[in-house]
Amino acid sequence: MPSTPSPPPHPNSRDETVPAERRTLTVDSLARVEGEGALHIVVHEGAVESAQLRIYEPPRFFEALLRGRAFTEPPDITSRICGICPVAYQVSACNALEQVCGTELDPPLRALRRLLYCGEWIASHCLHIFLLHLPDFLGFPDAVALAQAERALVEQGLALKKAGNALLELIGGRAIHPVNVKLGGFYSTPEPRALTELAEQLRRGLDDAVQIARRVARFDFPAVDLGCDFVAVTDAPRYAIETGEVRTSGGQTFPAAGFAEHITEQQVRHSTALHATLDGRQYLTGPLARYTLNSAQLSPIARELADDIGLDSSCRNPFRSILVRLVEVAYALDEALRLIADYRQPPRAAVPVRSRPGTGHGVSEAPRGLLYHRYELDTEGIVRTATIVPPTSQNQAVMEEDLRRVVGANLHLSDAELTALCESTIRNYDPCISCSAHFLALEVTGR
């Protein structure tokens, strides 16, 4: 198999000589994303009348499960929400609860928490890039077929993911649902020697990430620009990962406590997941938003790589999100090496956290975008209410709008081509509905 990509059809291409047809397209299940759902598209008289992302996976009621629990429990409980980004849930929970309790981490503990989060970014991004997303660009049906033709490339990707997993295991206790995170820090901290031994693995990974990004940059990406607002955490002068304030592409900046004043969730009849709006407008969170709002805070190595592969200071093309993720992998590896070089084992593994009544708000940047937690504690340190807003639910409305545009601009394509284009469009966003393997059933009906 040649190394040149076989890109998806151009989403803005339209052949007016081919009439729109009444037809039905069905994808029983879409692999290479996480979760379960369906997509229903209605085409009426050559136009897309509706595009609904129907999340039919049953609600998991984590917010209800948290009510009545001790204030120390949410970091462990919420990490079970996702096996791919458990650290994000732990850290957002810690941020919210430490805020309401008036707890400030020792600087070495805060740095160690950021290092742990770097491990999750590396592992999660590499899972998506190499096993879920690259097959679309290289013309393969799945990662197994890709590995048969591009063994060295997939091995590089798995080695990168392994480096991220190594950080998660060493600092978090295990790669999936880490058990070493607690309010105020950790149950134990690693010895410097153990982290130093990982540095060479991370350095090799950084070289590989740069090499792969340069190759992927040669792909033929469809020309698409999202016009929606972008929302991400910002933490100048650093590239935001584990904490910060909320920033929008419209120029607003507000603390985590202001999230609910600007972000409103509402139920839609076709989905068990809530939709969200920013002051009444659609918005996107995730790598494109993060990069566009914070690219100036990238490390010199990551900034040089972004320039080298043709990324400007902002990126609004969802098909080029794979490049942004590769830049973020390089950044996370570089940042991890910096944190390891500066690491000295903290004198204590955690600072004391004493509960007090009130409401705490926390945000962090999960690999897929901004993750918000809110907890209300009573005088006994019991959680009375909990609110969790994950990035994928925030992005659903934009994904639906993108699919509407893509289908409307490509009704001339064959059923197979249009179905493949819808699938690859969804995978640009790396949605994480849950930790299962299937996500989308696609049905297009004309009437």
Binding-site residues, in ranges, read 63, 82, 85, 388, 432, 435, 438
CA distance 368 to 82: 12
Asked, as a colleague might, if the bond just before 346 is cis with ω within 30 of 0, I would say: no
- H helical segments located in 222-265: 259-262
Q: Which residues are annotated as a binding site for Ni(2+)?
A: 82, 85, 432
- Specify whether the CB–CB gap between 125 and 331 falls below 8 A: no
Beta-bridge partner residues of 281: 278
Those residues whose C-beta lies under 8 Å from the C-beta of residue 300, and which sit 6 or more positions away, are: none
Q: Which residues are annotated as a binding site for Fe cation?
A: 85, 435
What are the phi and psi torsion angles at 76 (to 5°)? -75, -40
Beta-bridge partner residues of 178: none
Beta-bridge partner residues of 388: 373
CA distance 181 to 420: 41
CA distance 392 to 154: 26
For 324-352, the DSSP string reads HHHHHHHHHHHHHHHHHHH----SSSB--
Structure tokens at 85: 């980004």
- The β-bridge relationship of strands 245-248 and 253-254 is antiparallel
Beta-bridge partner residues of 375: 360, 386
Q: Which residues are annotated as a binding site for Mg(2+)?
A: 63, 388, 438
